Structure 1
Amino acid sequence: MNKLIIFPIAFLLSFAFAQPVLAQQKTIFSKNGEIHDQVIAAWESQFRSYYTTEIQKRLFGEGDVYVLYDVQIGGLQAFTEMTRRCKDTRQIAEIANLLNPVFAALKPIPGSNNSNGWICSGGPICTAYGFIGKEVPLCSVQFLGLLGALATSISENIPARQQTAELKAFVKAAFNTMAVQLDRWLTSGYFSYVNKRLPVTVEAIKAKNSNYFFTDVDLWHLTVLSDLSELYEFGVQAATAEGAKAFESLQNKKDNIHKIFDLFLARTFLIKSRNGVRAAIDKGFWKCHFDNRYAGYTDTLPPVSWVPDNKGGWKMKTAVPWDSSYIARDAGWDISHSRRLVPALETFVRNQENIKKVWGYSNPAFDPVAIRKAYANQIVEKLWNGNLRFPLFSNLWSGDNGWYRVAYANQTGRQFAGYPPYGLTSSIPDGGYVVWGAFDPTLNTIFRNIFELSETDEAESKLFRARYYPGLSYNKAKRLSINRFAFLSDMVGLPLLSTGKR
């Protein structure tokens, strides 16, 4: 079988070479620079109406709560954070106006003493997986992450005395919704689940022990708790008595909230490296996860394919039978799901003192700046292929680069062979990691080169881009894709380092 072709490894740029790039970025990517103007223009001509239409059509028209997930991950959080950095107060207000109707879609959750949430009543995913009539916590909590990001940005960039009545109402509604839903989710049962996982070591993982995973929902809980602490310290109050009661209830859960933070620290594996320390998330806990069963298989031949059956349909054919040698012993999260680390660590860095004040969490091991730096080191040292001209990134955060999600969701009729080695590469530039280039010169250079790669018409680069970064190009009408909108938003207004080496 043919092995995946790896592009030649280039030497790292020296710091002296990186200096002109930094100077250029401060012109192109600064507030009111060329790319900032381009992103704002795309928002005004394309994306503001796109997100508005998606929410109206899917949430209110179809009852599909997965739109909450999709707008957060699909560029709107990146744009929200850009407007925070650049203090784009007009656009901040426009995002709030766009999202404000979503509060009207909150409905009483069955069996929860009429606590409100977003109930799925339509859409293909809810229908396929039996979620009709139910809350989908991942969609809800991920959207709360977006609400929290916007509400804290409003509080930071627009003094209360200058906020319109609409903005004040939005911030209070966001605080209210975050408190009510978190209080409903953070039950004694959930805290027992946290305590069950805390002492578990990777050596205990012998089979499909999904009950021991540290999940994206856990991380979103912490993200929302962090944003709540910031809003509280800004003097924001809940919009309703229910919200005030929920926040008070959360205050009485501090000891258990500490355990969630402790679980995050326990599942952040700090590893000594040539640049100090790098970090892996849930290292080894996902080695037996079904989606990772081919994580150690790195050939180009897809493990499965589809052939016609005798009923006019299709049947799956296995080309590479699974073998235990394909287990990746260090497997944790994949690099797409790991993008949740970015908003989490940004709010932790911003709010370390607020978390201590509001939630009483003072574990000295909780050093968000150092942890964020360690996760950035992991990208450079374990995920990146070392090639500046043609950068690629391994599929799993552990650095394992075999096939991921082979035959994913085939029970729904989907014919998907899986992600081949480097198949998730585009998750790095459009997953928010770009903002870590603000403090890591090597990452900064990598992302700057990816930007150049997205612009060039050079033949070899175009072929490479089409294969690994298809979403970063302009379309024929010179309109931005969602991926490019997110990528460019993340590139703008970063407080770049001007001196120092990795």
Structure 2
Amino acid sequence: MVRALGFFLILASWGGYGLSADLRSLELDRGNRPAEAGIFICGGEVEQAVWTSWETSVKRYLQQDLLEHRLLNHGDVYALYDFEIFAHNMVLMARRCHRTHRLREVAELINKSYSALTEGTALSPGRRWICRGGSVCTNKNHLLDNEVILCSVQFLAMAASVANALAIQERSLTREDKAFIKETVSVAADHLLRWGGWVTVYRLKWQAAASADDVTNSSSALFFTDKSLWMITIYSELSGIVRNLSPAAAALPSGFAERQRAHLKALLRLFKSRVTIRHLPFSRIGPVDVADIDRGYWRLYADNQYAGYENEKKPALCTIGKEAGSTQKPELQISPSAVTRRQDTGWDFSHARRLVPALDAIGRNREALQILFALSRDDLPGNDLATSFANNLLAVIWNGDVAKPLFANYWSGANGWFRVAYDNGTGECREGYPPYGLTDAFATGGYAAWTRYRPEIGLPAKALYWLLRDESRESKAFIAKYYPSFSDNEDGRITALTQFAFQASLVAVGIP
């Protein structure tokens, strides 16, 4: 039955029928599954599973392995990056379910990271995390002994989200809550003041004025990146904290809003300039507007040069006798020049997960942003933008199969190889991600939370939830190929962390 449903959806999309109502009404063949009623609500079975994982393994991993061992003992700032990847979905779930005591537990962990901050200099004031070790920061990629902005901005966005969620409880704030909020505001402000000077504002305006045709080489100079999106997220959460506590109680530096207004406006202008809205009159969910980001700007970028190559044959191979991940350079089997270049390439499906917390933060703090930074309504993205991105996920990226959900590698819908022979300066041999190779990101990236915008997203989300519990050989093979971080072949600790992140994204978002 489930196979037939998946085929019917794809076939109907070819015929141009609007299937929004049909998709909402479809249910998987449950077989011997337990009753589903209420398992995805706050207090239900899935939330309980999240907290069981938190108490038995995840919290200890975040504290001991990431913060104490990697960050504090070895100076590896990519521990901050990983912390956000695994914990942010849970933070958003705790907010939705009003689990203040859990948010306090996360705040306690985040506080530990602040002791690793390094003071700035007279020429570059403000605290920052400096990468002193670990496997990613090397002299070759120029990350060793430097600030890695992506790690800092990604972690600070989550920290500010926790602080904002606590600030809502103004009347019941503890002494520890107040101290955490003030320190988070101070640390975030230090970074934004340093990152958002007039030179940066000028560069952002230059980028916003450029078109995709202005990209003539593999440089990333004109890209709208996730770092800029995370900065918008931090500004959004800070404005919410100030709204709830007042500038004085939040300890926002004097004149911060006035000074940083130009930076925020430039970021927002660039973001809006890089969102492409297309109308699809005939899609599997009917006539809809879909949103893409940086469409066409990444077409010449090295990571995406095989976006048009959708064959399963590997375009690059690690040396025979060596596995991917070894310190060997892969050998190209297919030249990039032999691949038809996709002209519509923008963000990939995995990096686009940043849209989930970013659009959530903008939506929750829309009025606060306008007040604190004296913005007009037109400065901010439209209220329906999140829905347009959710439409794109359903109509363009998802394969439409209710039984075996898969997702294309690129937000444009391209499903070619990603990061073939990728070299990040660590010396590892990487062959690249094949078609549907980034499907894992649907589960770990929190996309299921977009069910609040498009209830039909609950279909692939719920299907995956049950597939992960299916002990049949067929299901296990499917998971091992397309959702490898959830498979029996993966390290048990990684599996527990990815299950934790996925389950948190399912709770209290409208999945029936």
Q: Is TM more than 0.5 here?
A: yes
2:365 alignment partner, SS class:
helix
8 Å contact kept, 1:331–1:400:
yes
What CA RMSD, in Å, does the superposition of the two structures yield over aligned residues? 2.7
In 2: Cα distance, 1:289 partner to 1:297 partner: 15
Q: Structure 1 residues 386, 365: CA separation in 2 closer, same or farther (over 3 Å shift)?
A: farther
Query: Is this contact kept in 1: 2:265–2:379, CA < 8 A?
Result: no
After TM superposition, the structure 1 = structure 2 runs for residues 164-175 of structure 1, keeping only pairs within 5 Å, are 164-175=174-185
Q: Output aligned runs, 1:81-480, within 5 Å.
A: 81-110=92-121, 112-128=123-139, 129-156=141-168, 159-237=169-247, 244-245=253-254, 248-274=255-281, 275-307=287-319, 316-323=330-337, 325-364=339-378, 366-409=380-423, 412-472=426-486
Q: Deviations over 1:138-190 (max 9, x none)?
A: 1111111111111111122xx22322111110011111111121011101110
Cα deviation, 1:101-147, whole Å, max 9, x if unaligned, reads 21222111245454111112221212352323221111111111111
- State the partner residue of 2:12: none
Gap regions ≥5 residues in structure 2 = 10-18, 282-286
What does the per-residue CA deviation read over 1:242-291, in whole Å, with 9 as the maximum and x for residues that have no partner? Answer: x514xx23423324421211110110101112432100010000000000
Aligned to 2:88: 77
Amino acid of the structure 2 residue aligned with 1:150: V
Separation in structure 2 between the aligned mates of residue 137 and residue 51 of structure 1, nearest angstrom: 20
TM-aligned CA deviation for residue 381 of structure 1:
1.0
CA distance in 1, matches of 2:444, 2:329: 34
Q: Which moved more, 1:228-237 or 1:341-350?
A: 228-237
Q: Secondary structure at the match of 2:336?
A: coil
Shift of 1:495: 4.2
Q: Deviations over 1:52-77 (max 9, x none)?
A: 0120111110011111111001x211
Structure 1 length as normaliser, TM-score? Answer: 0.90
Asked if 2 retains the 8 angstrom alpha-carbon contact of 1:388 and 1:446, the reply is yes
Contact 1:269 1:283 in 2 (8 A): yes
> Do the aligned partners of residues 90 and 273 (structure 1) sit closer, same or farther apart at CA in structure 2, a change above 3 Å counting?
same
Unmatched tracts of structure 1, length 5 or more:
1-6
Q: CA deviation at 1:420?
A: 0.5
Report how many residues are paired. 482
TM-score normalised according to structure 2 size = 0.88
Counterpart residue identity of residue 438, structure 1: R
Which moves more between the two structures, 298-307 or 181-190?
298-307
CA contact (8 A) 1:64 1:120 kept: yes
Task: Please point out which of 36, 43, 52 is paired with 2:54.
Answer: 43
Residue 42 (structure 2) pairs with residue 31 (structure 1): yes
CA distance in 2, matches of 1:25, 1:489: 16
| Matches of 1:343 and 1:238, distance apart in 2 | 27
Deviation at 1:203, TM superposition (A): 2.1
* Code of the aligned partner of 2:271: F
- CA–CA distance in structure 2, aligned partners of residues 36 and 476 of structure 1: 23
Secondary structure (helix, strand or coil) at the match of 1:116 reads coil
Q: Structure 2: how far apart are the matches of 1:256 and 1:356? A: 14
Q: Which segment is superposed worse, 279-288 or 448-457?
A: 448-457
Letter in 2 for 1:211: A
Structure 1 contact 183–250 (Cα < 8 Å) conserved: no
Does the CA contact (< 8 Å) of 1:308 and 1:314 recur in 2? Answer: no
**Which residue in 2 is equivalent to 1:491?**
506
SS in structure 2 opposite 1:117? coil
CA distance in 1, matches of 2:434, 2:464: 21
SS of the equivalent of 1:278 reads strand
* Aligned residues of 1:269 and 1:280 also touching (Cα < 8 A): yes
* 1:18 CA drift (Å): 4.8
Q: Secondary structure at the match of 2:54?
A: helix
Aligned to 1:9: 7
Rounded Cα–Cα distance in structure 1 between residues aligned with 2:123 and 2:43: 48
Give the deviation of 1:322 after TM superposition: 1.8
Q: Counterpart amino acid of 1:459?
A: R
Deviations 1:371-390 (A, max 9, x none): 00000011111111111111
Q: Matches of 1:87 and 1:45 in 2, distance apart?
A: 21
Maintained 8 Å contact 1:176/1:238: no
1-structure distance, mates of 2:176, 2:29: 44
**In structure 1, C-alpha distance between the alignment counterparts of 2:195 and 2:491, rounded to whole Å:** 45
Matched letter for residue 448 of structure 1: K
Contact 1:175–1:237 (Cα < 8 Å) also in 2: no
Displacement of 1:453 after TM fit?
A: 0.9
Provide the C-alpha distance between the structure 1 equivalents of 2:468 and 2:429, rounded to a whole number of angstroms: 29
Question: What is the match of residue 3 of structure 1?
Answer: none
The one-character-per-residue Cα deviations of 1:216-251 (angstroms, maximum 9, x if unpaired) are 11111111011111011112547898x514xx2342
